[in-house]
Structure 1
């Protein structure tokens, strides 16, 4: 039986009051641990959404645009204006309905105690670890494999992804760059909604101020020209062409230097050495605004050369890009602490073995499961043995400390007396930069022959002995090792060949 409009109004008010009581009770409950706090936030967010739905329903009913509520109130009086006739008629309808359907079940609401224990399923990737860290591997690969990006490691990208001013203007106005920023921005917003369900994107973006007014006034950092002055930005790469008397003199600078100067002026930087020098020499007597447009790279021509429609289109695209950049910079500031935690997590993960990572994940799962009954997070950390701290800020178990030999100290004189705790750290340091620099200072190649040698005297004597051998002496081309920035190890000959070809 369809409920009346007044009954719907009463039920909506009752639901609003119930949700308000439930939210207050949920906030009064004692929650511990990151996972429980996150679940509480999503529960409250779900109830707030339902509260908004019921409130909007009540607003529509009280506005009564179709007059249905007014008619229903008038119908309660009946024909005799006493209301008894309408009451008994309504009572008869209710009894007849229940007589026809005697086996209807009453659906009861979920008890408040069970509602407080509800766990909301929030999707997180493995790298996000339940919302503790950022997972930006997709955006990192898009950055390093794009024309506007550069080669860097993941940790460096985490710290510098908001430094958009380092990218050239020509690349910042490209469509792939805007798509990259848009994807990065959508991930930041998604991470904020999943980790801070009670937060508001509007409050975060309110820190940007009136962006349109700032853009019109040319006060957006890095976009004072509102996207119009795309040529001649990089003064450090510019060449004083007036100091050269001929194209031949410009050729003496080399193709790479000419390419940088042409790109800084917004001119095409391709072609042979002669073509580049001729193109750059044109700017000696002719201003950029008077050059033929065919000499400029795509989208890099000065505003005076372009048409009014093209200037308007470029300015609109530049404004969209500048807004995306401003939002990305804002998120890098909002998530500053999360980025720092992610950096530490990634560095620790890179230095751990697979078995250690699995063990830590299992330990973390056990601690999260026991967080409801434990108050150890706020307790004083008792560490009389001065054991190293784990990922949770607590001392690692003593058996693990002994297993990895972290109580053993190894000193390397070649590294300047540096101490290394544990056999694993000691063996690994022979390939690290500190030991390599020490060997290079002694004039000794850092090969496997000198593994475990930590005293300068022993290293020099061994090197002298190797050089004095008449048969099977040391061959630098085959035995001297070089390492590139990615950690790949080559012998001297292979390394020089790859470097000469520009592959490393």
Structure 2
């Protein structure tokens, strides 16, 4: 046989056992400093990924969709007739030797095996100088995007760091623009990346699921800062304010407001509010000139 399914199964189980031991051994070690603790977390995360991928391979083997495992068990583990015992034994021995010759890593796990080199590997984690290896956020790109946007304002970087999460101060008309949406996407992308790099053992998907559930509840109760009463159907004065055309340079940006907002803006200016979204946006955009 070109390969042994049973030997691959045994090797995969050994790999899982070895990885379990490595994870325990690594977590029992007290990191010397914050940098070492971060390396430790990434090493454990990598080993857990290997556990998952190896387990997936085992599941695939045990599902035996092609029948290879069943055939091998039938061929090698059923009781042969007396005359076939030794030929089958040496045939099986040759297959095992060939397998280990091709797969040098598939070795017996011993308590004396030395994995010090693996445990001392330094994972490649990219941080900027400002992030100081995960100790601080680097918001300079977001800061430049904010102060050069229509919804932003000039301020010192230190002030931006303390207030960038206070989006309730931005008017609703500006929040409806494509530029603001892209800005929020960039914030989310950066913070998610920072979380993955600094807390690799956290279940990020679980955290996002919890946050989304909490947000939806706050939205329904009208408790989201800056959007109070939005979920309950009530409108504040700021929500009913007219669209400030000075913040829009193209028809496409106005289209982002949506049909209802455009209709409200046109009606407030005693103009026809009907037509498609594109027609409403064009009609409103003409008022800039």
TM-score normalised to structure 1 length: 0.44
The alignment status of 1:89 with 2:78, answered yes or no, reads: no
Residue 47 of structure 1 deviates from its aligned partner by: 0.5
Matched ranges for 1:300-319 at <5 A: 305=273
Q: 2:242 aligns with which of 241, 256, 265?
A: 265
Cα distance change, pair 201–94 in 1 and its aligned pair in 2 (3 A): closer
RMSD: 3.8
Give the whole-Å Cα distance in 1 for the aligned partners of 2:191 and 2:264. 44
Q: Output one character per residue of 1:116-175: Cα deviation in whole Å (capped at 9) or x when no partner.
A: 211112111011111111110000010001001111111111111111111011110111
Relative to structure 1, the CA distance from residue 157 to residue 5 in structure 2 (aligned partners, 3 Å threshold; closer, same or farther) is same
Any idea what the Cα deviations from partners look like across 1:46-72, whole Å, max 9, x if unmatched?
A: 111111110111111112223221222
Equivalence for 2:128: 125
Contact 2:76 2:88 in 1 (8 A): yes
Please say if 1:179 is aligned against 2:201. no
2:172–2:239: 8 Å Cα contact kept in structure 1?
no
User: What is the aligned partner in structure 2 of residue 57 from structure 1?
Assistant: 57
Q: TM-score, normalised by structure 2?
A: 0.73
Q: SS of the residue aligned with 2:44?
A: helix
Cα distance change on mapping 1:73 and 1:31 into 2, 3 Å: same
Counting only pairs closer than 5 Å after superposition, residues 82-481 of structure 1 correspond to structure 2 as 84=85, 86-91=88-93, 106=104, 111-210=114-213, 214=217, 217=220, 219=222, 221=224, 222=227, 224-225=229-230, 232-233=237-238, 264-266=241-243, 292-293=266-267, 295=269, 305=273
Residue 217 of structure 1 and its aligned partner are, at CA, apart by 3.8
Partner in structure 2 of residue 35 of structure 1: 35
C-alpha distance 138-172 of structure 1, shift in aligned 2 (>3 A): same
Larger Rg computed on CA atoms: 1
Greater RCO, CA 8 A, separation 6+: 2
Number of aligned pairs?
253
Q: SS at the partner of 1:183?
A: helix
Distance 2:76 2:12 in 1: 20
Unaligned runs of 5+ in 1: 236-263, 271-287, 311-504
Deviations along 1:458-492, whole A, 9 cap, x unmatched?
Answer: xxxxxxxxxxxxxxxxxxxxxxxxxxxxxxxxxxx
Alpha-carbon separation, structure 1, partners of 2:222 and 2:210 = 15
Q: Is the 8 A contact 1:268 1:296 kept in 2?
A: no
Q: Aligned in 2, Cα 1:163/1:227: closer, same or farther, shift over 3 Å?
A: farther
